[in-house]
Structure 1
Amino acid sequence: MISKIVSLGDKIDITVVDKNKNHKNYISQVLEILDEKSLKVATPIEGGKIIPLTVGEEYSICFYSKNSLYKSKFKVKDRSKEDNQHFTLIELLTSLQKHQRRKFYRLNCVLMFQYKKEEKDATWHEGTINDLSGGGLRITSKEKLKVDDLIVCNLSLCSNNKEINLAVEGKVLTANDLYIEKDRKYEYRVQFENIDIEDQEQIIKFIFEEERRQRKKNKV
């Protein structure tokens, strides 16, 4: 039963695929459980802009419950607005499939890092990490990359008040153009490749420590 797995306020991750087959993920949350297949969720917002989901279209969704991550597909039934809050009514099309939470949990963040193409004599570039998980990251940069490009990421993370430097290989899964204050940038979704288990655990440890720190900060 979905009501035993999903709770009000749970974070969700909605995947939108555009006409060029690029994948874009948007963060939202569960507002109401209507029945075992129908939910009321907050309409995604990015950069202060509403991201409307098309009525009748199908999307992928991840639920971040207290203990696990669950994936499913859904169809948009309706969109509306109530008390100045935009929401979307969705109908789940598949049963919830449980996934190992630690690897896939995403941390929204703003972290500077360096990267370069996995080529001889490639130049290092600076970028910004916008979200991070044990499986990959979403970044923005002024440098143009292509889908399937292989890159090396230099990550500098602080765990237990100690700085940890990691060099991790990644593969570009999606690429999108962005314009930020008239400045052209690119957004990429990168999946880690051949990552060492110890390095992955270091990243996951950092994510959960940072998540706890942010929660404590928000309570103050």
Structure 2
Amino acid sequence: MLTDYISPGIRVELKAAGKVWMDEDTRTRHIYMSKVMDVTSDDRIEVLMPFEKGKLVLLPVDGEYSLCFYSTKGLFQCYSRIVDRYRSDNMYILVLDLSSELQRLQRREYYRFSCALELKSRTCTKGELEAFEKNRKYLVDKTKPLQRSVIVDISGGGLRFVANFQYEEGSIIYCSYRLPRGANDKEFEMICSILKVQELESRPGLFEHRIQYVYIDEPSREDIIHFIFEEERKIRKKQT
């Protein structure tokens, strides 16, 4: 059943597909982020009409769109057609009929995207670990000194960084970093487990760490995955 994979509240991407009836309309060339409001049957869903720069985007009825769902069970894609749109409680809703089977996409949280970002980290205290378990990140002690290193690739499931110090494998650390998003960037905070540490053969004294997120809020994970999506698109666009 569709509800086994798609549920209200998850994020969804809409991208124009098939024969577009208004080729010059910017609405047909853009990728919009929205969220699922309801799953009314196995082939019909309702999503929030997207906003762009604070303005409502009235996507056309009968428009065909490719959908990418950011489900908790993975990324799923299908094709759809807008069959109606309406207003309810000051919200504007799109009604879409799904025109293809739901297909699983590659899990981008495990796809590692090469980058060079500053990472701040330190060994996690028992109290902080308990706080993250209860989703109480505000208990993290911001006064404790953080060690700085360089992230060389990221994913929605973990990252790899290089440092002139080394953590012990299996240890739990607090990490924070920012993605290159200009004025709209935000700090990502998470508790991580050290999976593997090895000294670089080409640069003695530098240590490569592979880590996995242990506690991270889902909106942050989705933001990281979306960032990877966007960077991949930019790269493909340059290559074509």
Q: TM-score, normalised by structure 2?
A: 0.48
1:210 matches 2:179: no
- Partner in structure 1 of residue 23 of structure 2: 19
Identical positions, percent = 25
Change in CA separation of 1:157 and 1:46 when aligned onto 2, cut-off 3 Å: farther
**CA positional deviation for 1:24:** 2.0
Cα root mean square deviation, aligned: 3.5
Residue identity in the other structure for 1:34: T
Instruction: Tell me which of 37, 47, 50 is aligned to 2:53.
Output: 47
1:85 matches 2:91: yes
Q: Is the 8 A contact 2:5 2:71 kept in 1?
A: yes
Q: Which runs of 5+ in 1 are unaligned?
A: 105-132, 136-152, 167-198
Query: What is the aligned residue count?
Result: 138
Q: Which runs of 5+ in 2 are unaligned?
A: 122-145, 160-176, 180-186, 190-215, 221-240
Change in CA separation of 1:87 and 1:213 when aligned onto 2, cut-off 3 Å: same
Q: Which segments of structure 1 move beyond 6 Å, counting only runs of 4 or more? A: none
- Report the structure number with the largest CA radius of gyration: 2
* Aligned residue runs from structure 1 range 1-220, under 5 A: 1-16=1-16, 19=23, 23-103=29-109, 155-158=116-119, 160=121, 162-164=148-150, 166=152, 199=153, 201=155, 205=159, 210=188, 212=216
**CA positional deviation for 1:50:** 0.7
**More strand per residue:** 1
Change in CA separation of 1:36 and 1:50 when aligned onto 2, cut-off 3 Å: same
What is the rounded CA distance, in whole Å, between the counterparts of 1:25 and 1:73 in structure 2?
Answer: 14
**CA positional deviation for 1:156:** 2.5
Change in CA separation of 1:210 and 1:100 when aligned onto 2, cut-off 3 Å: farther
Q: Is the 8 A contact 1:156 1:165 kept in 2?
A: yes
Change in CA separation of 1:100 and 1:32 when aligned onto 2, cut-off 3 Å: same
Deviations 1:143-193 (CA, angstroms, capped at 9, x unpaired): xxxxxxxxxx97434364644255xxxxxxxxxxxxxxxxxxxxxxxxxxx
What is the rounded CA distance, in whole Å, between the counterparts of 1:154 and 1:61 in structure 2?
Answer: 28
Residue identity in the other structure for 1:164: V
